[in-house]
Amino acid sequence: MNNDDLNAILDLDCEARYEYFLDAVGEEREVWILVNSEEHFLKLHAEDQGEFEYLPVWPSAAFAGDYAADDSDLKPRGIPLPQFLSRWLPGLDKDGIEIGVFPGADKSVWITGSDDLGQDLRDELARF
């Protein structure tokens, strides 16, 4: 994917990026996060609708890497979709951490709960 393609997708609104994420993850069977040198995953804090933490996720290493371009300590890490569905989503739910699906160029992000994202991903998998 070249920079123009990457930027065009990053410029989509939150809902369009969410749909892109579901399609790409359904096809590739992998979710991408960012981890630091100590192998801790990136968690962000939101305060616009009450204070909460969320795990940002991306549909590919290229998008995750682009988000972390200004932070040399962060690197993309892929999580196989079955593991994400069976271990990560229940763990995030237990810890009260939301999921921020595919942050855009303007830093807007689709915030969702584990149950909703899990169901949407399973629905997407059923299409294949």
Domain boundary assignment for the chain: 3-126
Q: Is 46 helix (H, G, I), strand (E, B) or coil?
A: strand
Give the pair of three-digit tokens for residue 78: 């892929």
Mean pLDDT of 39-54: 83
pLDDT of amino acid 49 = 63
Angle at 30 between CA 29 and CA 35, to 5 degrees: 175
pTM: 0.92
Residue written as token pair 């271990």: 87
Question: Which pLDDT band, with edges at 50, 70 and 90, does 22 fall under?
Answer: very high
Instruction: Give the architecture-level CATH label for domain 3-126.
Output: 3-Layer(aba) Sandwich (3.40)
